[in-house]
Structure 1
Amino acid sequence: MPTRMRLTTWRPLATAAVAALMAALVTPTVAHGTPQESRPVHSYENAVREAVWVDTRLDGDGDGNTDRVAVDIVRPREPAQQGRKVPVIMDASPYYSCCGRGNESQKKTYDADGDVVQMPLFYDNYFVPRGYAFVGVDLAGTNRSDGCVDVGGRSDIQSAKAVVDWLNGRGKAYTTRTGTTRAKAGWTNGKTGMIGKSWDGTIANGVAATGVEGLETIVPISAISTWYDYYFSKGAPLYGTGPDWLSNRVNSPDARAKCAAVQQKLVDGAPRTGDRTPLWAERDYNKAASKVKASVFLIHGMQDLNVRMQHVGPWWDALAKNGVERKIWLSQTGHVDPFDFRRAQWVDTLHRWFDHELLGYDNGIDREPMADIERHPDQWVTSTVWPPRGTDTTTLRPAEGAQEGVGTLGLHKGTGTETFTDNPELSETDWAAHIDTPTPEKAGFASVPLTRDLRLSGSSKVTVTATPSTSTAHLSAVLVDLGPDTIRDYADAYEGITTLTDRTCWGVSTTGDSACFKETQAKNADVDHTIVSRGWADLGNHASDLTGAPLTPGKPYTITLDLGATDHVVPAGHRLALIVAGTDKDLIDPPSTKPTLKLDLSRTSARVPFVGGTAAFARAIAGSAAAAPEATPLDGVQAPRTVQRVPEGGR
């Protein structure tokens, strides 16, 4: 769809007289082009704090009454007294009572009247004084809401969409959970921006994909774009449990007592076979990207092994295809909020983004580079667009090397075969550490040392032709930068950050709601290789993304693995490697057997997006000595940590 028109505080007018009058009315700073911004002119201490229950028009718990979701509101008092209406920043979450939000696992707290005292995170403290309302929505089935959690399905999304509708005068809300006294949203102009990390950001994606009017922008942080890819990768299971477990984890006690039928639907609709059922189709927001009218400011960690980078590429591409205004930050962290890896810049950028998108301020943020990318810990670069112009896919082919079990990677035609046996006790870091040594659990292929830097930007695909020895087999494909570097230690429990004791304040505090949060700093690791991107598949899904089937031992099969999006520079002197193996420990579950697989290298390839395309790769390997540099063991990321799907421990 065409890019939507932006609202600004003024426009060129038809006559010189009117233009002169307008110039006289604006402040001198605006007249001289200084970027505008909202100022903290409203009292946070005197803000209105209230709760309403919005009718979702669904009866998820089957009790005969439509479910109402609890909506806690903090808004400035002065605009309403002056007859002015304010925009809304909204975080719809299942975590407000069970698990907490942010690095310090904050939960909502309430006063004796049931109005919110502490709203987690800094959004209300910072933005309410600047003329925004902040709205915290308990998803259906959580905290003080009716209904059942259905993990990204209709109930989850309608929980938040119904609130956007109410804010825009299209829905009903009540002053109590069961009462009949109606609550009106006459204090807002309906312009809403949704924000949130992980499940919260996922809800923002899902609501935007409904095309709901009034949702002007979303800021999804480490968010899911399709729930199938959270639990499976082309048939290969990523976790040992399904969405029923996650639903039960966040359901309120009331919901647990009422929601057995919903739980069973989650079990029945998400078979461990990895088949794509209607349940997953309902939870695929990529397919509805054409409905998105809101702008999108996306933030993700390139080493996020919880919500993996497979959720970024397809969503980003679908938004681009449909002309959605976009901005993106890509960090070296795992599943971490930008407030905890780039705090000052994050608050400033988010402030300017909401000012532009919700208040219509022409502050120039829409003319700045589209992408910020963390190249080294706390060292960021920008791209005018992302992926950069001139990025093109190059087909790299593996071949047998002079040493058995140690192959080459380049533009040449692939030749020969390689054989490996699945070993579920080893991970991608184990494989990469022994790239130049023949080992039975992987097939490794490396380029010659590069003579100039080579930048990958976007999503890669690896096509494999493999002959299994058993009726089941899982595959992993990993791109690796071979060479020393200092990176964020994403495999650590805190995924690339260390929490300090000092606090910094972002907004206004009250007795029950502090705006001061513990500072963080980068937790780094010295490494001799860096995992750039990875992907997985069940070979039984070779014929279909929808269903898998048993394999015939001794028969070759061809399948394409989708690797997560990335933006990474392989420096001159380093090598680019491709590893093909079986189970990637802690990242996918093993098959029921331990197959041996023979790769046909003439029918195996990697399609990698290089800035500059094939010519850039050819230049980077031109004139290189064939010998690999001497490896230097370093203390670094030893293995991916075992990922817990739940809630971030509040983070």
Structure 2
Amino acid sequence: MREFNEQPVFENGRAMPVFPFTDGKTGAAYDPETSAVVRFCVYVETDYDMDGDGKRDLVKAFVQVPRSAVMGHYKAPVVFEARPYCAGINADGYDHMKETAAGTYADFDLSRDLDHPAPARKPASEITAMEAALAADPADWYYPDRGNGGNMVYENIDNFNYYLVRGFAVVVSAGFGSKGSDGLEFVGSHYERDAFRAVVEWLHGDRQAFADRAGTAAIRADWCNGNVGMTGRSYAGTMPFAVASAGTKGLRTIVPVAGIADWYSQQNQQGAQRYWPEEMLNSFLSYYCSSRYSDDLTEEQRSRMDAFHHALSMEQLKTGTDYSPFWEDGNYTLHADRLNCSALIIHGLHDENVSTKQFEMMLRSFRKAGQTVKLILHQGYHMTPAMPDKGFGIRVNGAFYEDIVNRWFSHYLFGVENDAEDMPAVLVQSNLDQHVWEQAADWETGRSVQLHFEDAEASDDASGAAETEKTIETIDTDWDAAGICQENFDERMSLCSSNMNRRYITAPLEEACTIQGTVRVDFRAALAGGDPAGGYHAVNAHDADSLTFSLGTSSGQQDDLKLTVLLVDLANEPFPSIFAEDPQRNVIPTDVVRQGAFEIGGGLKPLDEVEFRTEEKNYSVITRAYIDLCNPESGYEPETAAAGIRLEKGEFHDYHVYLNAARYTAAPGHRLAVVIGTEDPVYCLIHKEYSVQIDRSTVSAEVPVL
């Protein structure tokens, strides 16, 4: 029988693929007696009793460890992905929201009904990792997802095989409210954070876990060296920052990919709705991730989950699109002083799902805490630079992305002295040539320029040109008159003024201009027209459920009269740029340039190398943002959007709009344009009828540059 006594091997500062691999899916390929990877599930005890059943809630985690570590030949560090989707989803989220909007639910108080005192369990026995693996049922981690049409839950098995064959252990957990776990999926809250924090603490040796759901047989992570690195994309890129913001012992580093630093700024922006209309209520995401519905629940347990989701909707509706205490739990930047680990932050500059402001807020938090932090920015969308589930990756500064992260993890988790902490502070893929990666010593440039605009152009719509005051321009929300829809919004807004927007354009650039950071656009504006008593004749533009649709009016005050602000690169001749191919601006096409370019090792299939497809147009949107006309006091920090005002027609206010963080080089001869418009049909929950006056003499932009 094979010895399974491999030891980690490092070359050029990276862990090498010297460990054998055995597939973890059910079938003839997986036999726990001979598998090179030891697999089992554990149930980590938390501090909460969200269920109110008198017992501390348990959180399920799926563990994969090279057999050599379990046999005691070395201690393995852990790559940990905290991802609520990984245990399954409820794919009927939109229909569910519509079905339950008018339902009747038991009373549920979010401030009272989630915290119940409960004693820690006293295990009756203890079991080893190998014993747990030999007794494990693979159906505990590879099973049909009842909430998603029977599709197999598989991503939590295959995504991190690269690290398994290099001697790392891999742990994934979906947290509270997921299949196999107790509790309730409370999006962005300290409950959600602490569920994943508990897993890290177990790996570090500070918390109790069990090999069985009943909580009788204790199990220790004695194969682990106590060092944990968290990574993952989107939701799985958010939880690393959340857990880090709790000062969690054992969490040595995080590699968040397209992660959220502040949930308010993800859903809203300076008082205005920002995210996709159908997903604006956190209760939608909470239900979507609550795969616990696929467990065998009692009617009482199911009713309690339903009541919780309804209460979560009601609590968010109280605040509308303004900031309030509802959002404080999910503003992880408020706890920057607790950060005690390093971070390698990854984000796509064309990510319209999680805005680029999120990486900047995260970066500033680590800088404030005095922790080592690096930044890699690519020209892609909401993606990871290596996508095992899709079979491709991009080259990052000439290297395979996973090899870069490997060096980082090898240093912080294995203790390899490889100078990983000395990599460039900022590494960014050029928008002029995606084969070029540029470096910067810091994200904050310390230098800015003020844009100066030539005389304003006339509107394409004659009705928008007749103004009584020389510098006052009026825009409205008539999509049809402007000829604007989801598919052409960026193009129409960039290339011409209309009844819905005005452009403010610079003279041609004499030399290349590299923008790096957050652009601020200032102007004075006033509500010009609309019927507040009639709710501005609100229309449900995207057929959202009735509760979600009410978000823009539910606060009981004037709310969500949106202004959209863009910074655009313009040229007389078409030039190559990267554009999304879908109306939601979320998918950028790629082309395979080399098959099998990136080796995984361990006999695993290599990934193809892809590049982003470019199109030639005479415009490119550099960055964008939104602001609510009712929130003139709002600024960069999310909490400044708490104070909305009642607008009076013709009463001007000063606005300071902070666009999403950008890194972009505009070529000589190009012009920069600030575009101020009303509604964005892509992100428009409630289509309202109103008009806005802008004093064009006050429009300016402060642009951070290299």
TM-score range, shorter chain: 0.7 to 0.9
Q: Which whole-Å deviations, capped at 9, do the CAs of 1:463-483 have from their partners, x for residues lacking one?
A: 221111235631111100112
Which residue matches 1:556? 652
Structure 1 Cα separation of the partners of residues 281 and 436 of structure 2: 37
Which amino acid is 1:529 matched to?
Answer: Y
Q: Which amino acid aligns with 2:337?
A: S
Match of 2:522 among 452, 463, 467: 463
- Is the Cα–Cα contact under 8 Å of residues 165 and 602 in structure 2 kept in the other structure? no
TM-score normalized by the length of structure 1:
0.79
**Partner residue of 1:497 out of 584, 589, 601:** 589
Counterpart residue identity of residue 535, structure 1: A
Provide the secondary structure at the position in 2 that maps to 1:205.
helix
CA distance in 1, matches of 2:586, 2:623: 20
Choose 333-342 or 243-252, whichever is displaced more: 333-342
- 1:44 Cα deviation from its structure 2 partner: 2.6
Letter of the structure 1 residue corresponding to residue 13 of structure 2: Q
Residue 122 of structure 1, CA deviation? 5.0
Distance 2:210 2:264 in 1: 35
> Distance between the aligned counterparts of 1:518 and 1:455, measured in 2?
31
- Structure 1 residues 227 and 437 mapped into 2: Cα distance closer, same or farther (>3 Å)? closer
Q: Is the alpha carbon distance of 1:521 and 1:432 closer, same or farther for their aligned partners in structure 2, counting shifts above 3 Å?
A: closer
Counterparts of 1:177 and 1:526 in 2: how far apart (Å)? 57
C-alpha contact (below 8 Å) 1:88/1:133 kept by paired residues: yes
Alpha carbons 1:138, 1:144 under 8 Å: kept:
no
The aligned counterpart of 2:332 is 285
- Of the three residues 219, 222, 226, the one matched with 2:258 is 222
- Residue 569 of structure 1 and its aligned partner are, at CA, apart by 0.3
Corresponding residue for residue 566 of structure 1: 662
Equivalent position of 2:637 in the other structure: none
**How much does 1:449 deviate?**
1.0
Structure 2, unaligned runs of 5 or more: 1-8, 23-35, 91-134, 143-153, 296-300, 388-392, 462-469, 533-557, 635-640
Matched-pair contact (CA < 8 Å) for 2:40–2:136 = no
Pick one of 691, 699, 703 that aligns with 1:596: 691
The equivalent of 1:112 in structure 2 is 137
1:321-354 Cα distance to aligned partner (Å, 9 max, x none): 2222111111222211111441552011111111
Flag the 1:61–1:396 CA change in 2: closer, same or farther, 3 A. farther
Q: 1:542, CA displacement in angstroms?
A: 1.6
**SS of residue in 2 equivalent to 1:379:** coil
- Kindly indicate whether the alpha-carbon contact (under 8 Å) linking 2:503 and 2:676 is maintained by their aligned counterparts in 1: yes
The amino acid that maps onto 1:250 is C
Deviates more, 1:210-219 or 1:421-430: 421-430
Tell me which amino acid in the other structure corresponds to 1:73.
V
Give the match's secondary structure for 2:283.
Answer: helix
Shift of 1:113: 5.1
Query: Cα deviation per residue 1:210-253 (whole Å; 9 max; x = unaligned)?
Result: 11111011111111111111211122112433000111111121
Shift of 1:505: 7.0
Match of 1:368 in 2: 423
Residues 43 and 215 in structure 2, CA contact (< 8 A), matched pair in contact too:
no
Counterpart pick for 1:534 among 603, 624, 645: 624
Cα 1:211–1:599, aligned 2, differ >3 Å: closer, same or farther?
same
* Distance (Å, rounded) in 1 between the aligned partners of 2:42 and 2:428: 40
Partner of 1:303: 350
Cα distance in structure 1, aligned partners of 2:607 and 2:315: 41
| Distance of aligned partners of 1:189 and 1:370 in 2 relative to their CA distance in 1, 3 Å threshold | same
Using the size of structure 2 for normalisation, the TM-score is 0.73
Distance 2:310 2:451 in 1: 45
| Greater displacement, 545-554 / 529-538 | 545-554
| d(CA) in 1 for partners of 2:527, 2:185 | 40
Amino acid at match of 1:357: Y
C-alpha spacing 1:315/1:427, structure 2 compared with 1 (3 Å): farther
Match of 2:701 in 1: 606
Match of 1:584 in 2: 680
Which deviates more, 416-425 or 240-249?
416-425
User: How far is the alpha carbon of 1:289 from its aligned partner?
Assistant: 1.7
The residue type equivalent to 1:292 in the other structure is L
> Whole-Å Cα distance in 1 between the matches of residues 696 and 70 of structure 2?
69
The residue identity in structure 2 corresponding to 1:243 is: N
* CA-CA distance at 1:503 after TM superposition: 6.0
User: 2:434 matched to which residue of 1?
Assistant: 378
* Whole-angstrom CA distance in 1 between matches of 2:444 and 2:337: 23
1:497-536 aligned at under 5 Å gives the runs 497-498=589-590, 506-507=599-600, 520-536=610-626
Partner residue, 1:451? 510
Contact 2:89 2:288 (8 Å CA) reproduced = no
> Which runs of 5 or more structure 1 residues have no equivalent in the other structure?
1-28, 101-109, 407-414, 612-651
CA drift of 1:257 comes to: 4.8
For the pair 1:89 / 2:79, whether they are aligned, the reply is: yes
The answer on 1:417 being equivalent to 2:513 is: no
Q: 1:133/1:367 Cα in 2 relative to 1: closer, same or farther (>3 Å)?
A: same
1:156 matched to 2:252? The reply is no
SS in 2 for 1:586: helix
- Alignment partner, residue 373 of structure 2: 326
Percent identity over the alignment is 26
State the match for 2:565 in structure 1.
477
Classify the secondary structure of the residue corresponding to 2:630.
Answer: helix
Comparing 80-89 with 147-156, which one deviates more in the overlay?
Answer: 80-89
> Is the 2:210–2:218 Cα contact (8 Å) retained in structure 1?
yes
Contact 2:444/2:517 (CA < 8 Å) preserved in 1?
A: no
Write the letter of the residue equivalent to 1:352.
R
Q: How many residues align?
A: 560
Aligned residue identity for 1:153? S
How far apart are 1:313 and its partner, in Å? Answer: 2.1
Residue type of the alignment partner of 1:112: D
Partners of 1:436 and 1:149 lie apart in 2 by 44
* Cα contact 1:217–1:295 (8 A) shared by 2: yes
Moved more, 480-489 or 190-199: 480-489
1:138 to partner: Cα distance: 1.9
Separation (CA, whole Å) in 2 of partners of 1:435 and 1:43: 54
Contact 1:467/1:553 (<8 A) preserved? yes
